[in-house]
């Protein structure tokens, strides 16, 4: 059996997929929520980065996991609030404002990293905590399944649960109904008394929370330190995943899973000195193709009307 096939068929491959998928899934849910409210949120990169940073810093100085969790989430919400203020109140284009916030997050985290850790690369000189890994009672004893699904970071399980939370928010709560209404037809929503700006604000804050969780996982789960620009484009991958999954809970989950699988294969290929570039390209090309297909369908519908 070829070494590649051998490693792909091993349970550790499945384990790695879930690991790689976690931050993408969180961020993709965040992007999807704002997409349902009718906006493209490309600030996930910055949201994740700033949450990853503040999580590590607070954990290094307080040695308290709960506080660092709160700090990371608050940082994510804070960035979302700035975006909301500029977009909703000061009428800035959300794309351009988000680009500015991505730059801001990248700059400010490196700046503060240098101040706190005297290093512009990583925070490894600071002693910060990681979120615990969990063994799932019965599943962990099942041979292959246990090796794949048990022993993950608690945030990985939270990411999987978040898909369900996202489903419940979107389809089972009044807020979700309003978010979708505002996204599909803001004028109609506003004519029946929905405060469009308020709903969009809530959607942005929710996306900030999910993005922040993704960021926290990066610096306090995936690895145990903060590194400059450590999101490495995952915020943009999340936009792809959200679009690929039509911004719906199950679709977003499947798309993130696909990104997880392909990225993991790419990591394995790179270690075997085989060109991994084409594997890494697949999800982006898939996104372009699916987006095109959606658009063609939408164009047909417009014509029929």
Per CB under 8 A, does 101 bind another protein?
A: yes
Catalogue the E-assigned strands of 45-153: 133-134, 152-153
Q: Which two tokens stand for residue 252?
A: 């977003």
Nearest to 18 by CA among 108, 115, 134: 134
Shortest CB 267 distance to another protein, Å: 14
Nearest to 288 by CA among 234, 223, 240: 240
Q: Is 169:180 a contact under the CB 8 Å cutoff?
A: no
From candidates 4, 108, 139, 246, binder to another protein by CB under 8 A: 108
Q: What does the alpha-carbon distance between residue 299 and residue 293 come to, in Å, rounded to a whole number?
A: 10
Q: What does the alpha-carbon distance between residue 51 and residue 85 come to, in Å, rounded to a whole number?
A: 19
Shortest CB 266 distance to another protein, Å: 9
Per CB under 8 A, does 42 bind another protein?
A: yes
Q: What does the alpha-carbon distance between residue 274 and residue 251 come to, in Å, rounded to a whole number?
A: 31
Per CB under 8 A, does 182 bind another protein?
A: no
Per CB under 8 A, does 272 bind another protein?
A: no
Q: Whose Cβ is closer to another protein: residue 158's or residue 244's?
A: 244
Count other Cβ atoms within 10 Å, centred on residue 127.
Answer: 12
Question: Which of these ranges, 47-55, 72-80, 190-198, 286-294, lies near another protein under the rule CB under 8 A?
Answer: 286-294
Q: Whose Cβ is closer to another protein: residue 141's or residue 229's?
A: 229
**Residues forming beta bridges with residue 153, ordered by sequence position:** 133
From candidates 299, 303, 304, 305, binder to another protein by CB under 8 A: 299
Which residues lie near another protein (CB under 8 A)? 40, 42, 82, 86, 89-93, 95-97, 99-101, 103-104, 106-108, 110-111, 114-115, 120, 233, 236-237, 239-240, 243, 275, 277-278, 280-281, 284-285, 287-288, 291-292, 294-296, 298-299
């Amino acid at each position: 059996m070829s070494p590649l096939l051998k490693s792909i068929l091993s349970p550790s491959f499945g384990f790695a997929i879930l690991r790689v998928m976690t931050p993408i899934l969180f961020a993709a849910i965040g992007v999807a929520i704002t997409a349902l409210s009718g906006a493209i949120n490309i600030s996930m990169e910055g949201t994740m980065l700033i949450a990853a940073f503040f999580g590590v810093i607070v954990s290094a100085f307080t040695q308290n996991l709960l506080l660092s969790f709160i700090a990371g989430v608050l940082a994510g919400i804070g960035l979302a609030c700035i975006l909301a203020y500029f977009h909703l109140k000061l009428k800035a284009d959300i794309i351009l404002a988000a680009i500015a916030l991505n730059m801001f997050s990248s700059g400010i985290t490196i700046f503060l990293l240098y101040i706190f850790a005297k290093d512009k690369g990583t925070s490894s000189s600071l002693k910060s905590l990681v979120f615990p890994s969990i063994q799932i009672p019965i599943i962990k004893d099942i041979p292959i399944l246990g090796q794949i699904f048990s022993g993950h970071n608690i945030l990985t399980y939270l990411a999987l649960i978040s898909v369900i939370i996202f489903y419940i928010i979107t389809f089972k709560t009044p807020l979700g109904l309003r978010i979708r209404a505002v996204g599909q037809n803001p004028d109609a929503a506003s004519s029946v008394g929905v405060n469009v700006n308020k709903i969009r604000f809530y959607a942005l804050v929710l996306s900030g929370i999910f993005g922040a969780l993704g960021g926290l996982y990066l610096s306090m789960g995936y690895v145990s330190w903060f590194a400059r620009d450590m999101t490495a484009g995952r915020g943009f991958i999340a936009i792809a995943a959200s679009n690929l999954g039509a911004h719906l809970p199950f679709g977003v989950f499947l798309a993130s899973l696909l990104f997880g699988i392909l990225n993991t294969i790419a990591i394995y290929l790179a270690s075997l000195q085989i060109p991994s570039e084409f594997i890494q390209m697949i999800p982006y090309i898939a996104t372009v193709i699916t987006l095109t297909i959606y658009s063609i369908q939408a164009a047909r519908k417009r014509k029929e009307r």
